[in-house]
Amino acid sequence: MHVRSEVTRNAVVPMAGIAFTGCEMLGAARARARPAAKGKARTKPAGRRRQVVVAGRRVKTIDVHAHCVIPEALALLGLKLEDQRGPGIGEVGARRIREMDEQGIDMEALSINPQWYQAERDLAAEVVRIQNEKLAEFCATYPDRFVAFASVALQYPDLAVQQLVDGVKKLGLRGAAVGASVAGLEFSDPKFHPFWAKAEELGVLIFIHPQSTPDLAKRFKGNGWLANTIGNPLDTTIALSHLIFEGTLDRFPGLKICSAHGGGYLPSYAPRSDNCLRVAPDMDTGVKLKKKPTEYLRQMYYDTLVFTSEALRHLAAEVGSNRLVIGTDHPIPWQSKSVDHILKAPGFTDKERRMMLGETAAKLLGIKP
């Protein structure tokens, strides 16, 4: 393997109308305890933009897991910007691009975690309209650094279908970002089939980001931030398992799904899924899958937000290295060394590293390599 990094000058530009935040909401008290300094957004001078080269070839690195919010839409939902998780709310302009430059991330695919699945139809429609238009405007301003996933009001599948079509065809968004369930319903529910059908028809990527596992909220109390630490990967595991076992992926075989956090726990213990109905045939509900449950893992995509080289190796062994894309969870520092995480993990070929760093994501998102 021959890997090197280069840096080049890159101007830092201001950003307006969009705020970059992380996985979920802060408690109000915690947010007030550490407020962003109003009117004192301290930014460092422009640094040097890291460039990644593998075996003599420059790689455009693409991060599919990066968060933001739209303050105007938050206000409609009765939420406050200062209650959103994420460092440096007062530094959302230059800081975002500076951190991308430092990490060696050329482009980010922005997504907004859904906080509108309980909203009534007209409100949800307005929130999504604002978010998608602002995201499209922002990405058009910085086309060499950002693309975005559309927001959709999945609790109203007919509306979500139209929002996806408008987002992709009219606004140039690259797919949609969704939670891991919708108002208590699993994605495998037939109610959502029209949405999956349209996503398959359009050939766009659907990015699944968990929202903890609300049913276990009581057990998540206490130290360790368990609602996120355990709840988020568990939420994804449940969502993907339903898509597999209820036959959704058989019904829509061309569907392009990417899940956050390396697919949760599913790839780590996948072979158990192949043996469950052998052990308990009485639990067979009559859904006849076209292949073994583990085989469906290789028709989905996953970000690389796992924490060791061995975890990355195992994930690639279970799902295929060609199914992996960078995920940073920016600006929450779960994985601020995502590029080096891929470059330094032993056992991968140069071709595999280039795919994980950006080539696979470029194909999925319609980005020129």
**143-180 confidence digits (pLDDT tens):** 999 999 999 999 999 999 999 999 999 999 999 999 99
Per DSSP, what are the bridge partners of residue 62?
107
pLDDT at 39: 38
- DSSP notation for 23-88: SSBPPHHHHHHS---TT----PPP-EEEEEEETTEEE--EEEEEE-B-HHHHHHTT--GGGB--S-
**219, 185 Cβ separation under 8 angstroms:** no
Q: Which pTM does this prediction carry?
A: 0.89
pLDDT at 2: 54
Residue 102: pLDDT over 90: yes
Enumerate residues 6+ apart whose C-beta is below 8 A from 30.
none
Per DSSP, what are the bridge partners of residue 50?
7
pLDDT at 20: 72
**Residue type present at position 339:** V
Distance between CA atoms of 180 and 76, rounded to whole angstroms?
Answer: 23
**182, 220 Cβ separation under 8 angstroms:** no
Enumerate residues 6+ apart whose C-beta is below 8 A from 31.
80, 82, 83
Query: What's the pLDDT band for 250 if we cut at 50, 70, 90?
Result: very high
**How do the residues of the chain divide into helix, strand and coil, expressed in percent and rounded to 5?**
45, 15, 40
Nearest to 189 by CA among 162, 231, 154, 165: 154
**12-28 confidence digits (pLDDT tens):** 333 457 887 644 433 33
Angle in degrees, CA 229, 232, 238, rounded to 5: 135
280: left (phi over 0), alpha (psi -120 to 50) or beta: beta
Sheet containing 146-148: give its strands across: 62-67, 107-111, 146-148
pLDDT at 33: 35
Tokens of 287: 């859904």
**Cα end-to-end span (Å), the chain:** 21
**334-345 confidence digits (pLDDT tens):** 888 999 999 999
**273-292 confidence digits (pLDDT tens):** 999 988 998 888 889 999 99
The answer regarding whether domain 3-28+47-365 maps to CATH 3.20.20.140 reads: yes
- Core vs surface per residue 215-248: b (16+ CB within 10 A) or e: eeeeebeeeeebbbebbbbbbbbbbbbbbbbbbb
Share of the chain above pLDDT 70, in %: 86
Query: Does the N-terminal peptide bond of residue 267 adopt cis geometry, omega within 30 degrees of 0?
Result: no
Residue 8: pLDDT over 80: no
